[in-house]
Structure 1
Amino acid sequence: MQENALGSLVGSLVDNRYQVKSRLARGGMSTVYVATDQRLDRDVALKVLHPHLVNDGSFLDRLAREARAAAKLSHPHVVGVLDQGHDGDTAYLVMEYIKGHTLRDVINSKGALSPRLALALIDPVVEGLGAAHAAGLIHRDVKPENVLIADDGRIKIGDFGLARAVTTTTSTGALIGTVAYLSPELVLGKPADARSDIYSTGIMLFEMLTGRQPFDGDVPIQVAYQHVNSAVGAPSGLVPGLAGEVDELVQWCTASDPEQRPVDGNALLAELRHIRTNLTDTELDLQPPAAIQAAASAGMAPGPGPRGMGAPPAPARMPSRMPQSPHAQGNQGGPGNQANHTELLAPIHGDDVPRGRPTEVISRTSNPTTVFSAPASPPPASSRPADSTPVSSTPVSSTHRPVLPPYGFDNDDDREAAPLPLSKREQRKLDRHEQKERSRAAATPVRTLREGNSRRRGALWIVVLVILALLATGAGWFFGMGPGSPGTVPAVANRTVAEAQQLLRDAGFQSSTKDVFDDDVKAGLVVGSEPDAGTEIRKFQQVSLFVSKGPQLFPLPQLTGKTLDASKEALNGAEMALGKVTEKFDEEVPAGTVLGQAPAPGTAVRHGTPVSLTVSKGPQPIPVPDVRGQDQDAAFRAIESAGLKAVFADETVHDRNVPKGAVVSQEPASGTLTKGQTVTLTISEGPKLVKVPNYIGKQVEDATEALRKRGFQVRVNEVLGGFFGTVRDQDPVDTEVPEGSVVTLTVV
């Protein structure tokens, strides 16, 4: 069923199941229609592929595999893939129909969004991508057009499965999708993974925050070139006042090197929600200036400034909780970044780094979680108090935010010594800390008001020294051999509680137990300890043992009697997986209704357990047997034995070809019915009796014509050659005979 010259299937029936109602959209790979699934009586989105993708049989096989993989993903923020098929020249995908609009419509109508709205809209997209990445699916075409926003507020990402199939079937498959959102590795034809989706998501977030895309050009190849050779600027370059954490989030996602991005959607989701929770209302509700929106709508070219669009950004710090990719270590300054050092280096303005204030830097030789505080520039000697001492590098709490060194320095010494600009939030915390320290110092007396007696002071000093000696001795015993001495927590995993407690007692530790669910460790055995095995702690610190209760089990919901869609929603709500779906005929249960499930409802199983469903196909169709010409009793038995009901018409009919008492017609004569439906049989009265007139003495031609008009067959016997052409004798004559009988004329 090929699309007509106007490119529309509206009004047609695809695969004898999907009635096309209207066209929604048309893209480079497919046309999307709204259709009604006649089997389940519901509206679906029917994506029909363009002919140039249908001619490759291997592509259709890949498409089927990708569609099956995508159909297994059931998530509230991912558009469900319901069916896939091939009807003649039409290859199609059937997806969940989301009535509403797309994120592209929101951006086109509102322009730049507030951080609160942008982060709220991107959150379910990242959550859906995280679920897909965990299931081994990569989208490859993340863009606003593929983010669907339902009228009831639900947000889903669609088109899983199609992009991968196209990518693997074309030599230029890496450029399938919208070039504005392509990751550098896809532009270069390298394999894509979850981090490619993260890059596209970062570009999309940049556009939501600023109202425009980071790269533009007259032709797509110019945009693709910028993805590979330029760094995405900070959104605050277009939206002044934007929180530094939001800048860092965008630039983390859009790093040119995939190793510097979040490893997948779940890693990005954790940091995104952390930022949303910690930003102030003022930062979240920041409204982009009208002038910025006007400049964006006028197509302003990227400026050369340090924060301009398309220009290399100022060195940005990784967000506080952003974990590096496990492959990213050791790449700073390596071959992958060497070519971009000049482009990535940008001037740091005075308003970016507070003068004379401590700036957080991290030592390459220190633990990555240890942050040191050092003065950005020492105060002049003349202004320094006489009793002041140089500020040394002092460890700060590990909860303080670690900061990665910036890009673009000429050598390692510069990279270690150079301070990094603080975010606005960090600067405010630092200001409050300094103010408290100054207040505390001002409230501390520097000189006693009483001089006291010197002899008394000497005795007091002796007492103090004795007490200190006793304390030192007691502390030495306590921390050297007593309960405060250090010890290493032994490995207790997969041991019984008694064995684990004995091991801890032998090592000098006291223990407590806590029951936990665990899918891998047998019930009654120890899962692990807190602190972990191998940790060195003081012996007076208690060690907690986590004892397995076995896997946590949950009862399966009742699915029998529900529709297939309702059953999928119930499984999703119970965090169970959809297993094999089998269809069978049922004479009483409507099509699309669940007949049974395995395991049975109420069975206690783990989360993620696949549940197989048996779904009704409705009553089984029965071919109508053709009994025309059969005796009425034989016809009745044939209809009844087929599972149908035979009834006889009230009136009989004459038929010259069907003997009396036989079936002359039936309704319906063919096709299929369901069990118990009716077939109406009409019985023949045999031929109709007609009187034969007397044509003796008539000319043979006139007699023959008259007899034939009455439905008789005429046979002529000529005597003496029939010279006169007169009928001398006729058989039969002046009697009634069945219609169509033979009348013999003797002619002289």
Structure 2
Amino acid sequence: MVQDVPNDPLIGSTIDDRYLVLSKVARGGMSTVYLAKDVRLNRNIALKILHPHLATDNAFIERLQREAWSAASLSHPHVVQIHDHGAGAAHAYLVLEYIDGHTLRDVINKEHALTPRQALDLLDPIVEGLAAAHAAGLVHRDVKPENVLISRSGWVKIGDFGLSRAVTTTTNTGTLLGTVGYIAPELVNGEGGDARSDIYSAGIMLYELLTGEQPFHGQVPIAVAMAHVRDAVPAPSTIVPGLPAEMDELVRYMTEKDPDNRPANGASLLEDLRHIWATLTPAELDAGGSKDSSAPEFAAGPSAAADTAALTSALGRVEDQAAGTDVIEISGDSRATTVITAPTYPTSILPASSRLYVDDTESAVPGVGPDAFGDYDSDDAASGQALSKREARAEAKTRAKAAAQPTKTLGTGHPRRRAIIWVAVVVVLGILAAFAGWFLALGPGALATVPDVHNKSVTQAQKLLNEQGFERLPTTDVFDELVAAGTVVDTDPAAGASQRRFLGVTMHVSRGPVLYNVPQVAGKPLPEATTALTDAHLALGTVAEAFDEKVPAGIVLSQDPPTGTEFRNGTKVNLAVSKGPTPIPVPSVVGKTDAAAKTALKDLGLVPAIAPEQLNSPTVPAGSVLSQTPESGNLTAGGTVTLTLSKGPKMVKVPDMVGKQAGAATAELKALGFNVSVENLLGGFFGTVRFQDPQGGEAPEGSIITLKVI
């Protein structure tokens, strides 16, 4: 189990004012996974935060956003659900379903080699989850034990679909995605991946479940990757003797180098996997596996009887949690025992039909069957050849035919009559042959070449086809981006092909390009508007930003072209997006009178507010602005600036300094806040204050007290 790092700054913080980070779970090559709480919905979630170097890669963030949208649409009990995603200046993250349990890697580390029963019990829900993803148009591209999560309640789920790519957007790429130990050969070769790449990775995972180790090893990752391209995956029975041949064949089938030789997708593999499970005997299902007496006991798989309602497999205790992988690994009590639920659709046997063939002798002919002709099986048994049911059915049919054929002619025919009949037959056959010759050589059955009528009008095309002898000319309407509406796109059969004239030629007439309605996106947030355009088969064009006093930032102000118009697939729609209210620089009004300051702020669209408390100032006259909040920066229209007014200088009582020494008098007056001016009389020889102005009373703080010294 990965321990929390006390100095991790994210622990205890809240991401996007919603996700409270509780603890750190794991750290991988691309992200760090935290246990967090969704404070809005009051539930635990797994928060996957991308490393900073990826969070600042705009291309990666855009791709992650598209794939998160696609993966979030997938809802299946064996797939970890994506709840949310976000990207900001500080973090880019995915919010996933919280799985309290452990990973399949922990099971392998604890149990090593598993029996076929145990391996298939684990693989079945994994493949069922992949089948659902493939049906939704998603490819995982990183199937491995670290991405298979097992909850405390026994659910097996595939995680990390946030880094998958939609099948419809998969392209050949030189980027090597996926973990090298499980990567498909076509991904190593840069040929792009599809559902069959997930099948290959699942095959490598099945090999590891059966043997406890991966098939390929190397000093460097590229050596392992090239082994996937070059070397065949060995049979698991070479590592664990005694495994049934069906398991070797299943691993070989799933890990074929050529994707065309593997199961087409998860649904196809699931059907094969459950069929193999149903054909294995209990001894074969329990072959191999760990020899540790504490190895877990797995319940029956899909091969159980039809009345078995719930099939479970106890996995035993998992002591250690895997760490350091780029997967969602949720720590839990390692002492807990988890249970894997049975597949949703266990294999069952359909009842035999009472009549499989229309001409089935055993059921179609009343009273006629194998027993009607004696015990024919005894003869075959005597000769050492046991007949199958199909062979027995065929022999019974042959005997029934023989029994229905007469063995004796009941009467003699008239010779002359038979001759007349034969002549008539010959004449009729001759007429039919002549008609057939004309029909196939010159008539409607003759072969003719279909002319090229591409880009011709329907009338022109009909004329050209009629000249070749084609009279039956049905039409079908098709959309076409290049051919104008009302003209012929192509024909069936195609131009240049030979066709019997009576069969006719179907003309595909263009309806022009498919046009899509421009949706209403003004008033929506920009991400929602982008999704609406994509769903409408249109594209996002230029995005212009403008200040708006009423519309919040990020909301679409207008669109071009407008809603209600129709355009071709991929047409760009330009949007104007609000930047929010126009910022207003805050001016300085300190020193201005109350009225002048208010006028200056109101002229800019700001609201002046007078602070209830006024302060003394030796420099700012009473009634003028002493200070303001804020002092600078920007506000929007209607923003408030608080003004503090001056009460003027504070009045201080002037002490009498006459008779005191000039130095002491000066110091005392300055301590009271006065400024002192000293004038010497007769040279100021004695240093004694003789006169003072003002003398007594009060004077403003900061005013000048004049001392005349003798």
TM-score of the pair, normalised by structure 2? 0.64
The secondary structure found in structure 2 opposite 1:444 is helix
Contact 1:520 1:550 in 2 (8 A): yes
- Tell me which amino acid in the other structure corresponds to 2:401: T
Alpha-carbon spacing, 1:636–1:119, altered in 2? closer, same or farther (3 Å): same
Cα deviation for residue 549 of structure 1 reads: 0.8
Alpha-carbon spacing, 1:158–1:464, altered in 2? closer, same or farther (3 Å): same
Structure 2 CA distance for aligned equivalents of residues 523 and 239 of structure 1: 62
- Tell me which amino acid in the other structure corresponds to 2:181: A
Cα deviation for residue 100 of structure 1 reads: 5.0
**Which residue matches 1:696?**
658
**Which residue matches 1:122?**
130
Deviations 1:26-77 (A, max 9, x none): 212433569999xxxxx99664337xxx5xxxx999x444545665678633
Structure 1 CA distance for aligned equivalents of residues 505 and 225 of structure 2: 56
- Tell me which amino acid in the other structure corresponds to 2:130: I
Quick one: which of 486, 494, 505 aligns to 1:532?
A: 494
Cα deviation for residue 689 of structure 1 reads: 2.7
The secondary structure found in structure 2 opposite 1:519 is coil
Structure 2 CA distance for aligned equivalents of residues 74 and 580 of structure 1: 24
**Which residue matches 2:504?**
542
**Which residue matches 2:592?**
630
**Which residue matches 2:617?**
655
**Which residue matches 2:95?**
97
**Which residue matches 2:361?**
none
Deviations 1:188-212 (A, max 9, x none): xx65121488435422366479956
**Which residue matches 1:231?**
232
**Which residue matches 1:344?**
none
Contact 2:186 2:193 in 1 (8 A): no
Cα deviation for residue 628 of structure 1 reads: 1.6
- Tell me which amino acid in the other structure corresponds to 1:467: V
In the alignment, does 2:47 pair up with 1:49?
no
Quick one: which of 646, 662, 667 aligns to 1:684?
A: 646
Cα deviation for residue 443 of structure 1 reads: 4.5
**Which residue matches 2:450?**
489
Contact 2:488 2:509 in 1 (8 A): yes
- Pairing of 1:343-742 with structure 2 (within 5 A): 441-445=398-402, 447-451=405-409, 452-454=411-413, 455=415, 456-509=417-470, 510-720=472-682, 722-742=684-704
The secondary structure found in structure 1 opposite 2:71 is coil
- Tell me which amino acid in the other structure corresponds to 2:129: L
- Tell me which amino acid in the other structure corresponds to 1:562: K
The secondary structure found in structure 2 opposite 1:515 is strand
Contact 2:556 2:578 in 1 (8 A): yes
Structure 2 CA distance for aligned equivalents of residues 707 and 615 of structure 1: 65
Decide which moves more: 24-33 or 438-447.
438-447
Deviations 1:57-114 (A, max 9, x none): xx999x4445456656786337899887877xxxx6x355343569995897996458
User: What root-mean-square deviation, in Å, do the aligned CA atoms of Structure 1 and Structure 2 show?
Assistant: 5.2
**Which residue matches 2:161?**
157
The secondary structure found in structure 1 opposite 2:465 is helix
**Which residue matches 2:363?**
none
**Which residue matches 2:71?**
77
The secondary structure found in structure 2 opposite 1:601 is coil
Structure 1 CA distance for aligned equivalents of residues 524 and 158 of structure 2: 23
Deviations 1:170-191 (A, max 9, x none): xxx86x74222223466xxx65
Structure 2 CA distance for aligned equivalents of residues 149 and 553 of structure 1: 47
Unpaired segments ≥5 residues, structure 1: 38-42, 133-138, 263-267, 301-381, 384-430
Structure 2 CA distance for aligned equivalents of residues 589 and 241 of structure 1: 66
Structure 2 CA distance for aligned equivalents of residues 29 and 708 of structure 1: 68
Structure 1 CA distance for aligned equivalents of residues 453 and 466 of structure 2: 12
The secondary structure found in structure 2 opposite 1:479 is helix
In the alignment, does 2:168 pair up with 1:178?
no
- Tell me which amino acid in the other structure corresponds to 1:216: Q
Cα deviation for residue 664 of structure 1 reads: 0.2
The secondary structure found in structure 2 opposite 1:591 is coil
The secondary structure found in structure 2 opposite 1:499 is helix
Deviations 1:706-744 (A, max 9, x none): 322321122333445545443211111124322111212
Structure 2 CA distance for aligned equivalents of residues 4 and 620 of structure 1: 44
State how many pairs are aligned: 567
- Tell me which amino acid in the other structure corresponds to 2:202: M
Contact 2:440 2:446 in 1 (8 A): yes
Structure 2 CA distance for aligned equivalents of residues 600 and 289 of structure 1: 67
Deviations 1:226-259 (A, max 9, x none): 5244334799997987999xx5xx867743257x
Quick one: which of 181, 200, 203 aligns to 2:201?
A: 203
Structure 2 CA distance for aligned equivalents of residues 541 and 292 of structure 1: 58
Contact 2:181 2:216 in 1 (8 A): no
Alpha-carbon spacing, 1:525–1:114, altered in 2? closer, same or farther (3 Å): farther
Deviations 1:673-696 (A, max 9, x none): 321021111222321233323221
- Pairing of 1:259-408 with structure 2 (within 5 A): 271-272=264-265, 275=268, 283=275, 298=290
Alpha-carbon spacing, 1:124–1:608, altered in 2? closer, same or farther (3 Å): farther
TM-score of the pair, normalised by structure 1? 0.62
Contact 1:34 1:97 in 2 (8 A): no
- Tell me which amino acid in the other structure corresponds to 1:227: H
The secondary structure found in structure 2 opposite 1:500 is helix
Deviations 1:529-566 (A, max 9, x none): 22233332322113211111112223232222233444
The secondary structure found in structure 2 opposite 1:554 is strand
Contact 1:727 1:746 in 2 (8 A): yes
Alpha-carbon spacing, 1:143–1:624, altered in 2? closer, same or farther (3 Å): farther
Name which structure has the greater RCO, CA cutoff 8 Å, separation 6+: 2
